[in-house]
Amino acid sequence: MNIVSEIIAQRRQEFESRMRQAAQNAQNGIFQQNLDSSTSTSSTSSSSETTLSDVDNQYADIAKKQSEATKKKNSTTDKTDTTSYDNSTQKEGSGSDKWNINDRYHVTGIRSANKNKYVDIITEMSKKYGLPVNLIQRVIEVESDFNNNDSSSAGAQGLMQLMPGTAKGYGVTDPYDPRQNIEAGVKMLSQNLKKYNGNLVLSLAAYNAGSGNVHKYGGVPPFKETINYIKKITGISV
């Protein structure tokens, strides 16, 4: 029971106690059994009921004001966070966000040291394929930390870590060429978003583990690498 309910219950108990005492006094002949007694009892009752009503209204009003204050605070916080995030995105480039990723997800920010790396190519591909600049940047940072000569033990190559077969399928002749690599990676992510109706989590899962595994497991594959990959980019724990 909260403090408001406790106070109201206490007031009601006091009122009932007064009424019982008034009835007992009337039976003992302490009060006059006449209109004056009736008027006095009625007045006492009315006064007590009014007090209860006032208490109910006062604490209901307090609860209402507290609720409104909380909502206002949360609204202000959300607005501040969104504005800060949007301003950051605008500074990174004026690309496109076809799938409203930034409205639906909170993509993890990148380090300031990587902020301006390949930004012209990234912005160009953002406009061409509809992926927000900050998402492309974060994928590149997680994949290769913006090292265009990076190669993984599994054979993935370049900025967006394309497998040789994938790179070939997207017409990439040099996987270490920043423009070719970024365009192929962004195009693949764009196709994934289309396939999964704008679901970024499934799109990233398919990018990391392959769409075949997403289909096989009916969602995010239970691979530690894929689960960590999604969390690094979106902050979402799958």
CATH of 93-234, one of 1.20.1050.90, 3.40.640.10, 3.40.50.150, 1.10.530.10: 1.10.530.10
- How does pLDDT run across 93-140, given as a tens digit for each residue? 579 999 999 999 999 999 999 999 999 999 999 999 999 999 999 999
92, 141, 143, 183: which is the annotated catalytic residue? Answer: 143
Which phi-psi region, left, alpha or beta, contains residue 130 (left: φ > 0; alpha: ψ -120 to 50)? left
> Got the DSSP string for 79-119?
HHHHHHHHHHHHHH-----TT-HHHH--PPPPPGGGTTTTH
* pLDDT at 140 (0 to 100): 98
CA pair distance 236, 193, nearest whole angstrom: 17
Q: Can you read off the two tokens belonging to residue 142?
A: 């997680």
Percent of the chain exceeding pLDDT 90 equals: 60
CA pair distance 236, 83, nearest whole angstrom: 21
Q: Tell me the pTM.
A: 0.63
Average pLDDT rounded to a whole number, residues 152-171 = 97
Domain locations in the chain?
3-88, 93-234
68 is catalytic: no
Whole-number average pLDDT of the chain? 77
CB 158 within 8 A of CB 173: no
